[in-house]
Amino acid sequence: MHSFTAQILEKNGFILENGDWYSLTSAISKNEALFIKEIISNSNPQSTLEIGCAEGVSSMVICSSISPNAHHTILDPNQYLEWKGMGIRNLKECGFSNFDLIEDYSEFTLPTLLKSGKRFDFVFVDGWHTFDHVLMEFLYINRLLNVGGVVVFDDVALPPLNKLMRYISNYPNYVPIGSAGPFYESNSRKVLDYFKRMISYIILPFGRKINNEFFDDTVLRSNSSLKINGSICAFKKIDDDKRGWAWYKHF
């Protein structure tokens, strides 16, 4: 990883233009950075996309992991409005120039990228975290991503994103390729999950169809069995989307 990026992750902050120390508030963790780096080095993407730049940590990790002739596209409507351009300044500080920032909302930009024929081999999603918003983003990502490409989601331990990861794990044209970082914030969640697993064994004989009518999917399929039990997780697109018009699977 680029030494300036590694330093920011190690110290959890950086020095601003005016000399003040700035502590990170919204960035991915060191573990998550290593997860992204490993996925990129295993897949060697040529065209990458990211939603949500903020302090620029994930952008720096992506730019330092892709090959020098690959290109990174960043979407963030607030990079200058809210973040005072610090993400872009950090990228420039590292000497990266193989990226461009589109200062607009994903809901406006993703359809434009799709319509223009743009395609990506790697997408990192870390913007607005409601279920509906990230589902909307995935609707476009599913079409923007080349077969063989990877999509990575951050903050998937949050309930809206965990729910969405369960939905995406049902897609026939994606396989989960791993997760990292802590999933459980409290011991009570761990205990709850343990009881859910016990219940799942007891109700197994009733069959999936009947159990779907009575139980939440988290009782029927654990997050670990779906490989989404982390704070960040990745799916590989293994085929074009061939689902029918009314496709649905319990999640």
Q: By the criterion CB under 6 A, which residues form the site for ligand SAM?
A: 26-28, 51-58, 75-78, 82-83, 105-107, 126-128
Distance CA 116, CA 41 (A): 28
| Residue 83 or 120 with smaller CB distance to ligand SAM | 83
Closest approach of ligand SAM to the CB of residue 206, in Å: 41
| Residue 128 or 251 with smaller CB distance to ligand SAM | 128
Distance CA 191, CA 101 (A): 43
| Residue 102 or 199 with smaller CB distance to ligand SAM | 102
| Residue 48 or 211 with smaller CB distance to ligand SAM | 48
Distance CA 246, CA 224 (A): 28
Residue sitting closest to ligand SAM (CB): 52
| Residue 88 or 145 with smaller CB distance to ligand SAM | 88
Closest approach of ligand SAM to the CB of residue 21, in Å: 17
Closest approach of ligand SAM to the CB of residue 109, in Å: 7
Question: Alpha carbon of 69 to those of 41, 44, 64, 88, 144: distances in Å?
Answer: 14, 11, 12, 19, 20
Here the tokens at position 211 are 């159990």
Which residue reads 């939905």 in tokens?
A: 167
Closest approach of ligand SAM to the CB of residue 43, in Å: 19
Cα of first residue to Cα of last residue in the chain, in angstroms, is 37
Distance CA 65, CA 36 (A): 8
